[in-house]
Amino acid sequence: MRIREFGDDPQVAVVAAVHGDEPCGPRAVDELLSDPPAFRRPVKFVVANERALDRDVRYLDDDLNRAFPGDTNAQSHERRLAPRLLAELEGCTTLALHSTQSYADPFALVDTIGPETAALCSHLPVDAVVETAAYAGGRLIDYPGIVEVECGLQWSETAAANARRLIEAFLAATDVLPEETAPAAPDPDVPIFRLTGQVPKAPADEHEVFVENFERVSAGVPFAAADGDDRVAEEPFYPILMSAEGYEDVFGYAGERVGRLADVDDPTDGHSSRETSSTSVRSRSSIQ
């Protein structure tokens, strides 16, 4: 694990290379720090799974983003690494950079969204915010103060460019960048989705996905296939992180649209983002 700190006792952090086969984050961090600006607040940058990154593999022994809280005495490299990474991020507002095979533009993932997280995400250049809730077990975003962003398609130049934009937007929103770098105007209309279930994928020689992520699929519509055998939606849903090859045993996730960032309760209610559950979204529908 490689760490660069600027200032004493940072409470803001950027994490890259949780997965070693997602180079967009480390590349963006290295580009920024090749000529670092004069940071106003202490901040740290963490390249987490350096050994996997050096080998261009997702992980060596276990998926790090399923290994938290980990075990310092484990035989697995990632399970030993997990508690070290958590210790580095304790007390930090953190942006964790990822890439995907399912969607070309950035979107954010959180455990549950409260007012502080909503305010932060409104300044990020993302198409959507996804609450993972029950599906966050073992993942980094199961811990307070952490927002994951999918920067774009894995290994693409666009994902690397998006990662740099996301880092800069995050650092501006957390008052880390110099005063002349104002945070982007908030976008209160960014939609919020919530995962409602996994979409299993049968073993096959060829898998296909026919639908677009974050676009409503009506009941009765074929949305994917395994060796030509169509999967048909039994009820309406929104595809999230859905692709033909992104996961071994699932196409991705089904979700519901639950509102917008503007619908999250006012931060003057005194709740922290960790304390506020997904019920803090005032205006919601079921799958719509």
DSSP per residue, 123-164: TS--S-EEE-GGG-TTSGGGSTTEEEEEEEETT-HHHHHHHH
Predicted confidence at residue 283, as pLDDT, reads 31
Contact 197, 176 (CB under 8 A): no
Position 276 scores a pLDDT of 36
In three-state secondary structure terms, 192 is strand
Spans of the chain below 70 pLDDT: 266-288
Report the percent of the chain where pLDDT is more than 90.
86
CA-derived radius of gyration, the chain:
19
* Fold of domain 2-173: Aminopeptidase (3.40.630)
| E strand or H helix at 31 | helix 24-33
Q: Are strands 207-209 and 12-16 parallel, antiparallel or unpaired?
A: unpaired
Q: Give residue 175's pLDDT.
A: 96
Q: Specify the pLDDT at position 266.
A: 61
Domain boundaries, the chain: 2-173
**pTM check: above 0.85:** yes
The pLDDT value given to residue 248 = 87
- How confident is the model at residue 238, as a pLDDT? 98
Residues with Cβ within 8 Å of residue 198, at least 6 apart in sequence:
135, 250, 252, 253, 254
The three-state secondary structure class of 237 is strand
